[in-house]
């Protein structure tokens, strides 16, 4: 039986890509190879049907097919969180129930668009938690650059205090380091239970986020072993080596974080690494030029040379 997500979650929960064929169909064979790739790289857990997993581009039946296949392939080897965000609560609950019935450890929910006041945001999540019931662990996805919804540290702390199901924050507000610090300080000042905080944004700020109290990463960078190494080294107290490794990958991390083209770059690197057969994004989506491919080759080779200088394999 799959263990449910708790406040004690640590490490790297990789945001999985969703592989497609050249014609835009789900590529189930690549889903299998992708799972094995992520596990081989040492991830602590996986998150599927996230925003960078192109979840909004899937039909409802495709979402069910994909989550069931991925969960069955993982087969309990690591915990899996399923993104279930939806403008309609009924659709959200259906997807959530399918995920939990198939063995998910918990679900991730971002606020719906248009929640322009804190009262509206609180009321929305109160409805969500009421419909989900007390037994389904929830990760709150704080990604205002995409959702357009901002949550204050005070309101997040109140949600944690009022709803025990809320066990994790996926923190990717930007700039967000001071917000991360404030969340941790407010927990201490108010005696509110400490929740897990995993950070996104492609890992762009990972070392400093760990310094500020994050427990790990939840993002989809195409070299998950870097994320794993940095988190493990910070846990062991070796911040210098952690930052040396991070610095070697940083140009690729930055390159992959480009608005618009970033997902196509990520999927192309995954294709080159043998994780998926095709780098296609579902339309409408970016397509890479030859110059884009050349940039990836240059940055990848540069990273490999730097890692060799450090005495580590990329």
* pLDDT, tens only, 41-58: 999 999 999 988 899 899
Residues of 230-263 as b/e, b for ≥16 C-beta within 10 angstroms?
bbbbbeeeeeeebbbbbebbbbbbebbbeeebbb
pTM: 0.96
C-alpha distance from residue 152 to each of 26, 48, 156, 165 (Å): 38, 26, 6, 19
The tens place of each residue's pLDDT in the chain, 314 residues long, gives 679 999 999 999 999 999 999 999 999 999 999 999 999 999 999 999 998 889 989 999 999 999 999 999 999 999 999 999 998 899 999 999 999 999 999 999 999 988 989 999 999 999 999 999 999 999 999 999 999 999 999 999 999 999 999 999 999 998 899 999 999 999 999 999 999 999 999 999 999 999 999 999 999 999 999 999 999 999 999 999 999 999 999 999 999 999 889 999 999 999 999 999 999 999 888 899 999 999 999 999 999 999 999 987 65
Domains of the chain: 11-238 (3.20.20.70)
Please report the pLDDT score of residue 74 as a whole number. Answer: 98
Structure tokens that stand for 92 in this block: 């959200």
């Amino acid at each position: 039986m799959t263990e449910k997500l708790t406040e004690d979650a640590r490490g790297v929960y990789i945001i999985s890509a969703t592989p497609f064929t050249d014609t835009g169909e789900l590529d189930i064979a690549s889903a299998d190879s992708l799972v094995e790739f992520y596990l081989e790289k040492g991830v602590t857990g996986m998150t599927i049907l996230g925003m960078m997993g192109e979840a909004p581009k899937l039909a409802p039946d495709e979402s069910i097919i994909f989550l069931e296949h991925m969960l069955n392939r993982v087969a309990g080897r690591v915990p899996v969180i399923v993104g279930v965000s939806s403008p309609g609560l009924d659709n959200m609950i259906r997807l959530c129930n399918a995920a939990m019935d198939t063995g998910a450890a918990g679900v991730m929910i971002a606020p719906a668009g248009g929640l322009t006041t804190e009262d509206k945001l609180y009321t929305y999540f109160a409805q969500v938690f009421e419909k989900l019931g007390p037994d389904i662990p929830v990760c709150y996805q704080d990604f205002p650059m995409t959702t357009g919804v901002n949550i204050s540290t005070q309101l997040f702390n109140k949600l944690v205090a009022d709803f025990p199901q809320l066990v994790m924050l996926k923190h990717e507000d930007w700039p967000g380091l001071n917000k991360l610090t404030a969340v941790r300080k407010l927990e201490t000042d108010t005696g509110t239970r400490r929740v897990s905080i995993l950070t996104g944004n492609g890992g762009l700020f990972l070392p400093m986020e760990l310094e500020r109290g994050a427990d790990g990463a939840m993002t989809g960078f195409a070299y998950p072993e870097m994320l794993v190494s940095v988190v493990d080294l910070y846990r062991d107290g070796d911040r210098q080596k952690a930052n040396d490794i991070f610095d070697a990958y940083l140009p690729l991390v930055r390159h992959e974080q480009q608005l618009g083209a970033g997902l196509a770059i990520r999927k192309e690197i995954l294709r080159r690494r043998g994780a998926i057969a095709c780098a296609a994004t579902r339309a409408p989506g970016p397509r890479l030029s030859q110059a884009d491919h050349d940039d990836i080759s240059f940055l990848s080779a540069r990273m490999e040379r730097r890692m060799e200088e450090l005495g580590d394999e990329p």
